[in-house]
Amino acid sequence: MKLLDRYEEVVGHQEIRRLRQLAAGLAGKTIVHVNSTQTGGGVAEILGWMIPMLEELGINARWEVISGPPEFYRITKAFHNGLQGRPVSLTSRDLDLHIEVNRENAQRLNLEADVVLVHDPQPMYLPQFTPSDRVGRWVWRCHVDASRPVRIVWKHLEGAVTRYAATVFSMAAFTRPLPCPMFVVPPSIDPLSDKNCSLPETERLDTLTRLDIDPERPLLVQVSRFDRFKDPLGVIAAYRLLKPYYPMLQLALAGGTADDDPEGAEVLRDVMEQAGDDPDIKVLMLPPDSHRIINALQRSAIVVLQKSTMEGFGLTVTEALWKGKPVIGGACGGITLQVHDHQTGFLVHSPAGAAYRTRYLLRNADKRQRMGRTGHEFVREHFLLTRQLRDYLTMLLSLDRQASNN
């Protein structure tokens, strides 16, 4: 069975028919995606799912990964933080190194294409060093909230934007005034992937046993990279506020670090110290291919948390809602697109707020189940991979039409 036929069973015939119609206008085109890591994080996961679908639709699709020394990733992590408004320390040498690594990668990568989609700041200067006859059109895809960046970061990145034909953001609220067309395309999940497909009950229970989690006791779960913006320490604080009322409660903090995130190990150490010797807190450092383990954890949770303080979108929220779980989420970024109070979960601003809303859900099983059903259908309608692919195809056709009219 072809890949798109399998998706038709989930999203319906009309959705797949629309994709085929849109793709017909781009048949034979070459599209290259460029990001900074092949494993870890939502961008890499989305590209791993999307490239085969583009190819099946008759579009030549490739995925290139920029690389650099460890210092490069320290600098680009500062860009990531600075775009989201956190004060950062950067020197002119740092900015020069970012540009130099882009120059080296422009010579190494195969960027010959009709369209190159550059993801986030790391590869942003590639157009400056790529001959114009190799790439028809550049598009910058920003996955974080860039609405209030620190000046030094935005001034540096803004210098690269002029070479792009368009920019793409996850939410309208994330955008900046820019001299090119802007598109809003929220991310999505793949419902057929190992992370989101149905699991045999025996596999779910075996996974919990291997992780030393009691399947008979209530479990709270947060799945995230170990990143300060994900606020894992706030999740532990909320759990400790709940523990006196629910002595049987367990907490699993599951995640890892991305190749391009050098701060992850430091955050993990802080989380381990905060968890201490509490046997009911499981801090799970998982390899990037632990998709079925994450699937089992989310399906086993009584409530899923994503207590971020800043969030580009929060695909772990989407994953949990798809599995019929209510989500307690930080009231920020793309979480607010997905978590609607009393409908799919609750938005919170503090550990105390997270504990209060979680306690409410622990006491109201009927409410949890209704929220779970609502969340599942909400994701089916808005946040599956086929919808994101449809948005991208529509954007590319729009840019083609604009170019032909000029």
Span of 39-53, 225-239, 298-312, 336-350 with lowest mean pLDDT: 39-53
Q: Dihedral sign for Cα 121, 125, 131, 136, please.
A: positive
For 145, 195, 285, the CA distances from 289, given in Å and listed in that order, are 27, 9, 12
Residue range 178-198: average pLDDT?
93
Q: 75 pLDDT exceeds 70?
A: yes
Kindly list the domain boundaries of the chain, sorted by start residue: 3-188+384-401, 201-382
Q: Quote the CA–CA distance of 367 and 375 in Å, as a whole number.
A: 12
Separation of first and last alpha carbons in the chain: 42
CATH superfamily, domain 201-382, is: Glycogen Phosphorylase B; (3.40.50.2000)
Residue holding tokens 């990668």? Answer: 105
| Structure confidence by residue, pLDDT tens digits, 234-286 | 999 999 999 999 999 999 999 876 655 667 888 999 999 999 999 999 999 99
The side-by-side arrangement of strands in the sheet containing 113-119 is: 60-65, 30-35, 113-119, 135-142, 166-169, 182-184
Residue range 8-14: average pLDDT?
92
Helix (H) or strand (E) segment spanning residue 139: strand 135-142
Residue range 308-333: average pLDDT?
95
Share of the chain above pLDDT 70, in %: 97
Model pLDDT, residue 394: 96
Q: 36 pLDDT exceeds 60?
A: yes
Give CATH for domain 3-188+384-401: 3.40.50.2000
Within 13 Å, how many C-alpha atoms sit on residue 83's CB side? 24
Q: Quote the CA–CA distance of 165 and 370 in Å, as a whole number.
A: 44
Model pLDDT, residue 345: 98
- CB burial readout 349-368, b (16+ within 10 A) else e: eebebbbbbbbbbbeeeeeb
Residue range 287-311: average pLDDT?
95
| Structure confidence by residue, pLDDT tens digits, 125-182 | 999 999 988 999 999 999 988 999 999 999 999 989 989 999 999 999 998 888 889 9
Model pLDDT, residue 261: 65
The β-bridge partners of 346 are 328
For 63, 82, 92, 179, the CA distances from 161, given in Å and listed in that order, are 21, 17, 19, 8
Cα angle: 277, vertex 280, 285; to 5 degrees: 80
| Structure confidence by residue, pLDDT tens digits, 91-124 | 999 999 999 999 999 999 999 999 999 999 999 9
294, 254 contact by CB (below 8 A): yes
Average confidence score pLDDT of the chain:
93
